[in-house]
Structure 1
Amino acid sequence: MIFSRMNRPLLATGAALVAFAVLQPASASAAPNWRTAVQILAVNDLHGNLDAVPGAAGSVIKTDAAGNQVSVQAGGVARMATLLDAARQGQGRTLTVGVGDMIGGSPLLSAAYHDEPTVHAMELMGFNVSSVGNHEFDEGRKELKRIVDGGCHPVDGCAEPGVRYPGAKFPYLAANVVDTKTKKPILAPYWIKKYAAFKVGFIGLVTRDVPNVVVRDGIKGLEFRDEVSTIDKYAKELKKKGINAIVVIIHEGGATSSPVYNFNCDAGGPGAGLTGAIKDIAKRTTPLVDLFITGHSHEAYVCNVPDPAGNRRLVTQAASFGRTFTDIRFDMNLKTRDIVRSSVSAANNIVTLDTAEQSPVMQLVETWRARSAAVANKPIGYISADLPGRGSTLPETPLGDVIADSQVFGTRSAGAELAFLNPGGMRADLVYRASGTEGDGVVTFGEAFQVQPFDNILVTMTLTGTQLINVLREQYSGKNEAFPRVLQLSSALRYTVDLGRAGGDRVLADTVRVNGQPVDPARGYRVTANTFLAAGGNDFPTFVAGTDRVNGGIDLAAFVDYFAANSSPGTPLPKPTADRITFLPKP
């Protein structure tokens, strides 16, 4: 990591209930005596964001009284803790689940201590169980095992000198993550909650696409198996144990037809507002499963995706970064010991910034903040306006342009002419308004870290002109065709995309220019990418064929150095126009 961990005191636990309005899912009239109510509160893709994320990446879209879409800022785990407590009031049987990527890709406040602060926060917030996500593997299998089982970090040591990190107090599940030697899951495939009159089984798993979205060195010796066959296998196993109520918590998601957090997904028919991998998985998975709680795509939805028998079955997700949580409620049939499908309802709730912060969680966050403040608050650069990045709705972003330019700047000694950044490598926006006492327009190290938290090594390689064009086409072809991944690009590169065409043909090869000149198919170009992209991540296999590879510095260091060289209080970095790609609309 960027710096060694710092000491932390042990905090007292406990939670005070505060009355706040929580959007409850629609409920039926009082249940007969052979039925009893259960609540599940779900959070996904927190990514160690203990604080609310600034800018568009930390906002939620809702509709106002006039029906207009408006953006509201949201987030902060201490606020979420208050709302979770409020939602639990009056609920006799309530469970709280995580759906992967709760850690990883985190801001400095959590990442500096290898996400132990986030795990402790989850414990205080009452989490019962979590599935793994792809980002739980950011630091590799061994580090995930340490997070689960405990122990001090092998390099940075104990967060509190001499005090062993005890490990998560809740189980992590990984049903489809299998050791290639033992052929067994590396973590428990399911967790069973036992009540006096019934049991509920939770099967936890992650997208099988993990090898394409993480650095592969960290997952050597692991196999990520098919989601449907894995769920079917363990659903049958739970059924044999006499467990009829089965919930899947899976780190895989889909795209929505509306950005509004509580849109009607079923307005055009069951599940009509949802597309993507999770919808296909839910359609094909055994009817033994009663409910899907999902993550990964950072969308908010509550959709009915009927099971193979045609029965109603809800699929939910709660956006990301702690902006929302899902409140799911259902009745258990005490005779059949199964979930009454017709009773299942769910609603997403916004963690609004006017919510009071729960004291124990707030104290925990502030303790970690005090330890990292000296480094986090150090100014590293200056901007003249907001630089939208993760929160932008456009394929090319001003912040993406700046990051790509910084990567060329940082690898000039390796001959870099161009740089590419995968969109998932940009985790936040840079906001002009001060987040603390640093002053407007000042970029702090903590803010820079939040944008680039992965410590990726920059790799400079030679690609031929033909290979360069192939990389551009891979944004729109293969596995990226259904949901294109537009790479952020440095200033020397220009090209045009025709959205009226299909697949890789959308990239008009004769428009590609490097430093104003048409691309020479035979010439070699020096191209920089982070280690993830350089290894073919996000389904860009052409990068793997790059030759004369030179490993450079860390992406964050290049970002910081770029600001130091190109901005000052009197001459802040201007906002790029983000016009390096020209998009021709569909006719």
Structure 2
Amino acid sequence: MTTFLRPLAAAALAALLVACASAPQAPPHTAVINLVALNDFHGNLEPSTFTYTSARARRETTAQAGGIATLGAALQAWRKDDSELLLVGAGDLVGASPSISAMWADEPAIGALDLLGLRVSALGNHEFDLGRAELLRQQKGGCVSPRADKACQFAPNYGGARFHYLAANVIDMVTRKPIVPAYQIETAHGVRVAFIGAVLKDTAALSLPSSVSGLEFTDEANAINALLPDLRKQGVGVFVVLIHQGGRTTDYFDQPGCDHLTGPIVDVVKRLDPAIRLVVSGHSHKGYLCQVDGRVVTQAETAGHVLSRIRLTVDTADNRVRAISASNEVMLAGRYPADPALDAYLARARARSTAALARPVGRLAVPAVPLGKDDVDESPLGDLVADAMLQAGTPFGAQLAFMNLGGMRQDLEAGHDGRVTLGQVQTVLPFVNTVVVMNLTGAQIATLLEQQWQGGDGDKHMLLQVSDGFSYQWNPNLPAGSRVVPGSVTLHGVPLEPDSPYRVATNNFLAEGGDAFPVFTSGRSRADTGIYLSDAVAAYLTHRDQLNKPAGSKQSQGRIQRAPQP
């Protein structure tokens, strides 16, 4: 019997040696940390249209991508390969959200991110849309909210996010301390990883002044670097920056090792401590997998269309990152088996929202009113929204209205019956803005128009859309500060008088100087109508429909004109 077993044992040993020789072996004293990153989710619980060109196919593709069910399925599959995978974010998880989330104070989005297993995220500028108190409520829970009609309505008790917001550079001016933790240490495969959060230092210029009152947004790189001595004392050697600041590149969104990244993120990255090897970015809504001074800098598009999968190889002997690889993967439905928990959650959110959002508000004169491209002077949708603001402000004496392009997120589309629903209006206008009316003199209005090219973005393009009856000309060849053609600014064909007051309607974001328009803060006899902008547009569409004159056009109305060039 013994002699019979010896050949079998020898054969088994030989087979085992062959298997060991052929199987890939991890280098000694190393650990692999798998991260998945998302940014600028903006409460997109459902899939939405994503047009992209990949490095592999090199042709434009349009598909429905994202949505929590799709993200949940992917993460469920990836966690089967690594149960210690860490999901992290780079800000703007909420705010400017579709109605299915916004109508419930973005609590459904927070709950969905919890179900996805998000651990930490940087703050984004949109987390400040409704101020510090609402931000902290979303983190900690409770029902006391500036959106009292929306908070704790999705569920009777809102317990707050289970993931943690991070920001090293958002400082309370009184306590001189960060308003949320600057970092969080997570452990995976025995390695302690410090995730450090930051938001762009220009957040105040993108927010309502009242929303960021008492807060200081400091230099991103300086705030991050200042943390490393303390983290090293805690024995941490692996550092990952999650930052809501971004850039752009001519490379494909999924092309590894791109080296053409430009924008504010580049300067931040170049000034970071050399020990920081990975930066997960956001804000610019662009996908990239770039190298900057030997560091990997990623971003995953927006709205959950893409997830970044990042692999850190860590030398556990000296506690340092030895290698980083990253990929950007489009989140297409059906690629992975469904996650029942996320499917059920989405079904519940849809059911709770459908009845309210499906209410028709009026017909459009065209199938869709386009927002237009970034380089347009006047947007057809901007015309419609400005006219709606003027109608809402008329009982308060409004004579003209201004709307910012950035406050509108997509085309306004009618259904097959030509009607627009409340949900479609709220998707186009996701910000919780109200209509404000104030007095500005003709001279102030002229200055306001010039500020369109003098704001925080340098030579920024047109941001203000104007209402019916107001018009002007501008000359792009003249220097900033003197581009409006003298005598061309008119109201119902009559030139504005510099010293005469005019009653102006706008949204409360602009009224407080948002988008770098400080003239609005000088307006006198101010009145916040309390009318939400989305409600104003819905009422305008209803009114025009009742007059049998549906609103909307495919073309702009010629209110903003470029001066004839020689």
Same-fold call, TM cutoff 0.5? yes
Q: How does 1:137-536 map to 2 (within 5 A)?
A: 137-153=128-144, 155-156=148-149, 158-159=152-153, 164-195=157-188, 197-257=190-250, 261-262=253-254, 266=258, 270=259, 272-275=260-263, 277-306=264-293, 312-340=294-322, 343-352=323-332, 358-383=339-364, 384-389=366-371, 394=376, 396-432=378-414, 434=415, 439-484=416-461, 486-536=463-513
- Where 1:339 maps in the other structure, the secondary structure is strand
Q: How far apart are 1:326 and its partner, in Å?
A: 1.4
Residues of 1 paired with 2:29 and 2:478: CA distance? 58
Three-state SS of the structure 1 residue aligned to 2:66 is coil
Aligned amino acid, residue 152 of structure 1 = C
Task: Give the count of matched residue pairs.
Answer: 536
Partner residue of 1:18? none
Distance in 1, matches of 2:534 and 2:389, equals 9
Q: Match of 2:559, as an amino acid?
A: R
Q: How far off its partner does 1:293 sit?
A: 0.8
Q: Please, which of 539, 554, 567 is the counterpart of residue 516 of structure 2?
A: 539
Please give the per-residue CA displacement for 1:461-512, whole angstroms capped at 9, x wherever unaligned.
2222222222222121141215445222223333344444443444444544
CA deviations 1:203-225 (Å, max 9, x no partner) are 01212222222222233332222
Q: State the one-letter code of the partner of 1:208.
A: K
2:526 is aligned, of 549, 555, 578, to 549
CA contact (8 A) 2:256 2:326 kept: no
The secondary structure found in structure 2 opposite 1:274 is: coil
- Report the CA distance shift for 1:512/1:180 in structure 2 as closer, same or farther (over 3 A): same
- Distance change in 2, residues 1:316/1:485 (3 Å): farther
Q: 2-side partners of 1:249 and 1:585: how far apart?
A: 47
Spell out, residue by residue over 1:293-320, the C-alpha distance to the aligned partner (whole angstroms, 9 max, x if none).
11122222222221xxxxx012221122
Give me the TM-score of the superposition, normalised by structure 2.
Answer: 0.87
Any residues of structure 2 matched to 1:125-136 within 5 Å, and which? 125-136=116-127
Distance apart, 1:535 and its partner CA: 0.8
* Structure 2: gaps (5+ residues): 1-23
Equivalents in 1 of 2:377, 2:63: separation in Å? 22
Q: Which residue does the alignment assign to 2:3? A: none
Q: 1-side partners of 2:120 and 2:547: how far apart?
A: 47
C-alpha contact (below 8 Å) 1:36/1:334 kept by paired residues: yes
- CA–CA distance in 1 between the matches of 2:47 and 2:419? 19
For 2:63 and 2:487, how far apart are their aligned partners in 1?
43
Q: Is the 8 A contact 1:481 1:503 kept in 2?
A: no
Look up the SS of the partner of 2:387 in the other structure: helix
1:330 and 1:256 mapped to 2: Cα distance? 24
- The question of whether the paired residues in 2 share the 8 Å contact of 1:469 and 1:509 is answered with no
Give the CA deviation at 1:559: 0.7
Amino acid at match of 2:422: F
Query: Identical aligned pairs, as a percentage?
Result: 36
C-alpha distance in structure 1 between counterparts of 2:139 and 2:56, whole Å: 45
Equivalent of residue 558 in structure 1, options 522, 536, 540: 536
Offset at 1:391? Answer: 7.5
CA RMSD in angstroms comes to 2.9
The one-letter amino acid of 1:48's match is G
Label 1:482 to 1:247 Cα distance change in 2 as closer, same or farther (>3 A).
farther
Alpha-carbon separation, structure 2, partners of 1:582 and 1:390: 16
Give the letter for the 1:321 counterpart: A
1:373-427 deviations in whole A, cap 9, x for unaligned?
A: 2211100122222223387664532222211111011111223222222223213
Q: 1:548 to 1:238 in 2, by over 3 A?
A: same
Structure 1 unaligned regions, length at least 5: 1-28, 307-311
Aligned to 1:40: 35
Q: Is the 8 A contact 1:60 1:350 kept in 2?
A: no
- Contact 2:122–2:199 (CA<8 Å) still a contact in 1? yes
Please tell me the residue identity of whatever aligns with 2:328: N
Q: Cα gap change, 1:140/1:31 in structure 2, threshold over 3 Å: closer, same or farther?
A: same
Question: Quick one: structure 1 residues 582 and 315, their matched pair in 2 at CA, closer, same or farther if it must change by over 3 Å?
Answer: farther
Q: Distance in 1 between matches of 2:211 and 2:516?
A: 18
Q: In structure 2, what residue type is equivalent to 1:274?
A: T
Deviations 1:262-288 (A, max 9, x none): 36783xxx3x3422x222211222223
- The answer for the alignment partner of 1:95 in structure 2 is 86
- Of residues 148-157 and 229-238 in structure 1, the stretch that sits farther from structure 2 once superposed is 148-157
Matches of 1:64 and 1:441, distance apart in 2: 39
Question: Partner of 1:320: helix, strand, or coil?
Answer: coil
Give the 3 Å change call, closer, same or farther, for CA 147–573 of structure 1 in structure 2.
same
Q: Distance in 2 between matches of 1:353 and 1:175?
A: 36
- With over 3 angstroms needed to count, the CA separation of the structure-2 counterparts of 1:92 and 1:510, relative to structure 1, is same
Compared with structure 1, are the counterparts of its residues 377 and 34 closer, same or farther at alpha carbon in structure 2 (3 Å cutoff)? same
Instruction: Give the corresponding residue for 2:552.
Output: 574
Specify the code of the residue in structure 1 equivalent to 2:227: Y
Contact 2:376 2:462 in 1 (8 A): no
Q: What amino acid sits opposite 1:261 in the alignment? A: F
| Paired AA for residue 52 in structure 1 | P
